[in-house]
Amino acid sequence: MLPRPSAATRPFANIGARSLGRSFSTTRGMAAAEVTRLGVVGAGQMGLGIALVAAQKALVPVTLVDSSQASIDKGLKFADKLLEKDVSKDRITKDEATTIRERLSPTPRMEDLSSVDFVIEAVPEVLSLKTSIFAQLAQVCPPHAILATNTSSISITKIAASTTPKDNPTDLSAASRVISTHFMNPVPVQKGVEIISGLQTSESTIATALALVKKMGKIPSQSADSPGFLANRMLMPYINEAIVCLDTGVGGKEDIDNIMKNGTNVPMGPLQLADFIGLDTCLAIMEVLHQELGDSKYRPAVLLRRMVDAGWLGKKSGKGFYDY
């Protein structure tokens, strides 16, 4: 008979059971904690979208952090544009738009996240940048706050490890609160959110994350902490293969996109979708899949790498597979 885990080792026994058992049940026994104030790190398209939806749908005040004042100004201008559009279409009243806008509190200071119950990081897919931010969040945020990432491909376990004191690797007080809430782009439109837990993530963290995204009007799907998770494990190889087809002359860009739109009833073809996602983002995700899984089927298309080298990143740069 195996010995029962001691109090000191019990957290790791729970981790092992959840990881090895690979339970994908969405039924959780833990009660979700209430989120009365949200923090968002990164005022780009994703971060702003998350902040705006939280303010509009979940009715929570949001502290929006970005070290660049220009990014904050650009993000808030985009928020104003979206709210004006909703008013013009009679989705909300002008007074409601004003109230929603007032729930957004921009700041360049990470220290202003000291009163949040839940924070979502939404910065570029650079591991060193994310781990640096999470090390700061573990120090700045309250000891109960959930620390979420919007990563589309990087290991949650690896990000969570950055919150663990180097001199005390058994201290999971911060790492157990790390999770991924991977929103889809554009956030105000897309309903799906991936919830990914790392080895360290607690059941109460999962429950709170599920409750928050539902309160934001989203439909969560849970994924194991495996490269690419669910969405990008399927989507990015599809986009990558379309780029290979273009590069090897199997079809022109319009033919590739049209056959998928008209043949499978998707709203846009893979090349146009890649432009909207950002070719640099597509490349970064494919590199993670290739490196982490070691399978040649995930090797990034040569043309994709060349276009990123040229600075042709898609819609955000004005040129990708199409001109914008």
Where in the sequence numbering do the catalytic residues fall? 152, 182, 194, 232
- Identify the DSSP state of 297: G
- What pairing do the DSSP bridges indicate for beta strands 178-183 and 146-149? parallel
**Coil vs helix vs strand at 266:** coil
How far apart, in whole angstroms, are the C-alpha atoms of residue 318 and residue 298? 27
Q: Is it true that the peptide bond before 61 is cis, omega within 30 degrees of 0?
A: no
Residue 242 identity: A
* Structure token digits, residue 28: 């959780």
Helices (H), the chain: 10-21, 45-53, 69-88, 94-102, 127-140, 156-161, 203-215, 231-247, 253-264, 270-277, 279-293, 302-310
First to last CA, the chain: 66
